[in-house]
Amino acid sequence: MKAYKKLIDRFYEIDALDSAMGLMSWDRQVLMPTGGGPARTKHTAILARISHELLISDETQRLAEDAASEVEPGSDESALLRVVNRELEIETKFPTPLVEEKSRTSSEAYEVWRAARAESDFSRLAPYLEKLFEVARKFANLRGYKDHIYDPLIDLYEEGATYDSAKAMFDAIKSPIKDIVATASARAIDDSFLYGDWDSEKLLAFNQRIAEEIGFDFTRGRFDLTTNAFCGGPSKDDIRMTARPGRHIGAVLFSALHEMGHGLYEQNSPSKWGRTPLKGGISLGVHESQSRTWENIVGRSMGLWKRFYPELQSEFPALKGHSLDEFYLAINKVEPGPIRIGSDELTYNFHILIRFELETEILTGQVRIKDLPEAWNEKYRSYLGIVPKNDAEGCLQDVHWSRGSVGYFPTYSMGNMMSWQIWHRLQQDIPDAESKMAAGDFKRILGWLTDKIYSQAKRYTPSDLMTRVTGRPMGPEDYIKGMQAKFG
């Protein structure tokens, strides 16, 4: 397997470059002094160019072609070649100057976005969004599409997804969720005791203890606080997770559990596939299914808090006057609000739907960038019955478009659908999952998810993986039933 071995060596080099860029991105958002932005932008643009050139080189393509005759159908090696050929099919369509332009523009835009959001001034970011959406159009046209310009963009993040499949998902859940929201939001639930000047560092340390008990290995990962919670890191043995502070106690608690879900997925990817194209999660939708599982299905369950609420009360005496039942109701309160991050499980999908509609309308020319604040506010009025009070609370709240991530947002709702579909299957094998959590026993739950999902890494396509785990492709049925049972 001479060609295959050389191909793996080539991808070790590409992985080293990509890991360096990932670590530089983490550092930029967590530790880098603000003055380091211009140099960091140049560094990452150069590394993006070198990585892209190495990937699309004639040598890499020749090795992939020669390796095809060396691998057995159905083997790990065959699965790796499938992933490699998909990357080559995508990346060879994109000229290196365009890749470098996207890297440079998105790096610059990130710094502008932070300042624009702090000042609630959309006009500062608008020119960069114009450039990044134009880059997205170029990417879509270069890759090619049959039905909709959105198709080749969403497929970058969720293999096999299209504009039509995303729209069908939202069409299927809009009406049921609207009905459940109407019922659940009418209930008078006092969550005022969850707001205050919480010690974010202390909360993060508490979350680390939860994560350790669940099974995250902190000799191979870390938690930090930053404005925009995310999970990254250069390898499965160096996972960088962050949580976001806020006045609601759940800002740290649930953003940390969310990112821990991503971290568990990556940390439990097989070591034998480390640094190769097979490592890590298969797609953003499947990845999000795990972060939403640990944040919402586990993280907002009565079982988890039977185990940890007494300790949380000891750490934060302000909670001692409120029972477990009060806490459980409060952390699951349904209430439409302007901010996506931290929104409840039900209205969250409307936040995603709004972004899906807006980015497709921008791509097709129905909405102009300069009109985005007004279009954003109108959709919030239509779907959630509220209007953001300023740009920071409105169209500047998310970092994604300033990173050039157009086509990304629907994967969040896909993650919601998949999380409940996977959990429904898990409960068939572990019917006492709730009581196990209450007893502080997470070993079998994490073991089941590792066996079925995390250890498979990128061996299967998202659709194939869901079918193998649950018996069918992604659908909204289990999510709707879960929401009806929990909130209806």
Neighbours of 282 (CB within 10 A): 24
Task: Give the residues across from 224 on adjacent strands.
Answer: 242
Q: Which of 477, 463, 464, 448 lies closest to 298 in space, CA to CA?
A: 448
Please tell me the distance from the alpha carbon of residue 339 to that of residue 361, in angstroms, as a whole number: 21
Please tell me the distance from the alpha carbon of residue 61 to that of residue 7, in angstroms, as a whole number: 9
- Helices 410-429, 443-452: axis angle to 10 degrees equals 120
Please tell me the distance from the alpha carbon of residue 266 to that of residue 453, in angstroms, as a whole number: 11
Is the separation of the CB atoms in 338 and 380 below 8 Å?
A: yes
Active site residue 259: yes
Query: DSSP string covering 23-80, please?
Result: HHHHHHHHT--GGGHHHHHHHHHHHHHHHHHHHHSHHHHHHHHHHTTTS-TTSHHHHH
Q: Virtual CA dihedral for 454, 28, 92, 78, nearest 10 degrees?
A: -20
Please tell me the distance from the alpha carbon of residue 370 to that of residue 426, in angstroms, as a whole number: 47
Please tell me the distance from the alpha carbon of residue 28 to that of residue 30, in angstroms, as a whole number: 6
Is the separation of the CB atoms in 24 and 41 below 8 Å?
A: no
Amino acid at 15: D
Contacts of 69 (CB under 8 A, 6+ apart): none
Q: What are the φ/ψ torsions at residue 405 (nearest 5 degrees)? A: -90, 80
Marked catalytic residue, from 259, 295, 345, 357: 259
The SS3 assignment for 1 reads coil
Is the separation of the CB atoms in 21 and 47 below 8 Å?
A: yes
Please tell me the distance from the alpha carbon of residue 151 to that of residue 139, in angstroms, as a whole number: 11
Task: Give the residues across from 259 on adjacent strands.
Answer: none
Active-site annotation, residues: 259
